[in-house]
Chain A
Amino acid sequence: SQQGEEDPQALSIQEGENATMNCSYKTSINNLQWYRQNSGRGLVHLILIRSNEREKHSGRLRVTLDTSKKSSSLLITASRAADTASYFCATDAAAGTALIFGKGTTLSVSS
């Protein structure tokens, strides 16, 4: 089934650095979403980018989408320790069914 694959699986950076996570998917999509999950908690929606959009910003987050390469990236600028979490991309099938998630990228930000 259609699935987003995040890369890298794990990322460790220092506070103040930028963190970039990538997501690749297999088939056409209507939109792609990014979620964050803190340890032991549920997922929290960060940003949704539609298939006709190329870039979207929300605070320190910047998401890009390249439908020709079937890939997206999430950039977190000026990382903070509180950004430590797992980040997931999720895509919908063209038919608009429920989201399919990848395995996630685990981000560790040390102070």
Chain B
Amino acid sequence: ETGVTQTPRHLVMGMTNKKSLKCEQHLGHNAMYWYKQSAKKPLELMFVYSLEERVENNSVPSRFSPECPNSSHLFLHLHTLQPEDSALYLCASSQDAQGSYNSPLHFGNGTRLTVT
């Protein structure tokens, strides 16, 4: 559909679990992103990768750990999460290696994460 595929679509985990979110883009883009979307709040940029290198990290707690093994795949490793981390986690990609400057973001449909 969108060219960006996220799995799983839904995830329920306890605070002591370790899980990973996966994102794959089929668009040949050079930049990939993780955003967090919570109710009543703007989208929060978490991480940006450009050509597989992390270029931005917006003061995200260390319980979130990103990994970008190649330009098509992006992971978000989760461990020891808190209930307030429950949210929709969105992955996006863009053509421009310098970020979304002059190029639109293509989003996946997100992973709905619930931390119990």
Using a CB–CB cutoff of 8 Å, the interface residues on chain A facing chain B are 3, 30-31, 33, 35, 40-45, 48, 50, 88, 90, 92, 96-104
When distances are taken between beta carbons in the complex, the residues of chain B under 8 Å from A44 are 2, 107
Q: Given contacts A44-B2, A88-B43, are A98 and B99 in contact (CB under 8 A)? A: yes
Interface residues of B in 82-104 (CB under 8 A from A): 90, 92, 98-102, 104
**Which of these, B33, B41, B104, contacts A45 with CB under 8 Å?**
B104
Where the two chains meet, the residues of B that have a C-beta atom closer than 8 Å to any C-beta of A are: 2, 4, 6, 33, 35, 40-43, 45, 48, 56, 90, 92, 98-102, 104-110, 112
Q: Which chain A residues border B40 with CB–CB below 8 Å?
A: 103
Chain B residues closer than 8 Å to A100, beta-carbon distance: 42, 45
Is the pair A96, B108 in contact by a Cβ cutoff of 8 Å? Answer: no
CA distance A88 to B99 in the complex (A): 18
* Chain B minimum-CB-distance residue to A95: B101
A98 touches B48 (CB 8 A): yes
Residue in A50, A97, A99 whose beta carbon sits within 8 Å of that of B105 in the complex: A99
Q: What are the 4 tightest A-B residue pairs by CB atom distance, in nearest-first order?
A: A42-B107, A96-B101, A45-B104, A101-B43
